[in-house]
A and B are shown apart, each in its own frame.
Chain A
Amino acid sequence: MKGLTYLSIVLFGALAVNASSYADPQSDNEMIREYFDDRLPDVALEDYINGVYAIDENARLQWEDIEEFPPYEDGVDQGQELFETAFANGKSYADCFPNGGIGIKQDYPKFDQETGQIVTLELAINQCRTTHGEQALAYGKGELAYVSAYMAFTSRDKLINVTVPNDPRAQAAYEAGKKMFYARRGQLNMACATCHVNNAGNQLRADILSPALGHTSHFPVFRFKWDDIGTLQRRYAGCNKQIRAKPFKLQSVTYRNLEYFHTHMSNGLAINGPGSRK
């Protein structure tokens, strides 16, 4: 227990004391794995992709029943149709991505050398559209989320592989995402880490808090509360509102950097999107 407290202080303290110095992302990942290994010793590393169901046996059984008839199936089918339909200029999504867009979700978000910014899969989907003369789609839900869900589906079981290249702009984006993850915000004064690191496994009202490790593997996600598929950043906005903090714009630089750090954390874990959650 003392070890845990110590590590929390290291995790937070490192930021407080020396926010400007660059910690190696690889050691960040090792540290977070050790932390969760101590905190949730019964959870196997591969099982973190199942979020709260890796912790709560009862909820897991209900969830496994639900997964027999996956609620995201319609969305994936719609996504596939959209993905395979040609744009007005005759091109399609396949023309914009490596490997024709199949089985590539594990490499996102990516650092883009040209703009010096982080490109999430959703941003890349819209970039593809505008490059080919189509209107950008709304982020968060709807057609864009379906296309993204289909692309995630084709990437199942691939291992998350987000890279931080040796470029100061990529490292700065990673650091900014990390800072956002650990910074207390909003009237409730909570960081992502307050709930999803330091209190993972604890009960907030009726919810058991999921660990941040593995969080991004199953997005976009079908949520019963949404009755639809939604993107990871839609969830960010929801969690920000929950602590009475003003959410950022979806696909803003802030959220893209956060997604970069947050996804890098789960490197080596399997993509299992789209998932279903309550």
Chain B
Amino acid sequence: MKKLIQLISVVFLFPIALPYALAGDQIAEGKEIAFDRKKGNCLACHVIDDGELPGKMGPPLSQMQKMYPDKSKLRDQIWDATTKNPLTAMPPFGRHRMLTEQEIDKVVDYIYSL
């Protein structure tokens, strides 16, 4: 069914709908990665969205667009939080290759949508 919709989008609505459909997927995948205990496991330390059993070592992640007008700064924080705060508890997801560059992009898009 999903495939069919995508096919229809590609064929008929390409210029308008496709970018939106992709962005939606990217955000949904980003959420999955962020919540997955074996991937981002961001909920261990942050209250996020509807995530269950969140920890509170870091601040709640909401309104991130306001917090980070420059999206690349948000990416930097997730890639290696120690550059901003050498004593941070937050793991360096990019520097220690806990997430791939593509996965980080997806997480950034998800967090940015909150």
Contact = CB atoms under 8 A, between A and B. Distances in A.
Interface stretch (A64-72, A189-197, A214-222): A189-197
Given A188-B91, A190-B89, A206-B53, 15 more contacts: A8-B87, A9-B87, A12-B87, A187-B98, A188-B98, A189-B92, A189-B96, A190-B91, A199-B89, A202-B55, A203-B56, A203-B57, A204-B44, A205-B43, A206-B55
A202 to B, nearest CB: 5
A198 interface: yes
Given A190-B91, A198-B87, A198-B89, A205 B53 contact: yes
A203 B55 contact: yes
Name A's interface SS.
mixed
A interface residue count range (under 10 / 10 to 19 / 20 to 34 / 35 or more) = 10 to 19
B44 to A, nearest CB: 5
Interface of A: 5, 8-9, 12, 187-190, 194-195, 198-199, 202-207
B96 A187 contact: yes
Name B's interface SS.
loop
A59 to B, nearest CB: 15
Given A187-B96, A187-B98, A189-B82, A202 B91 contact: no
B interface residue count range (under 10 / 10 to 19 / 20 to 34 / 35 or more) = 10 to 19
A156 B86 CA distance: 40
A194 B92 CA distance: 14
A198 B96 CA distance: 21
B74 interface: no
A124 to B, nearest CB: 36
B28 interface: no
Contact of B45 (A12, A189, A204, A206): A204
Contacts of A187: 91, 96, 98
Given A187-B98, A189-B96, A205 B91 contact: no
Contacts of A198: 87, 89
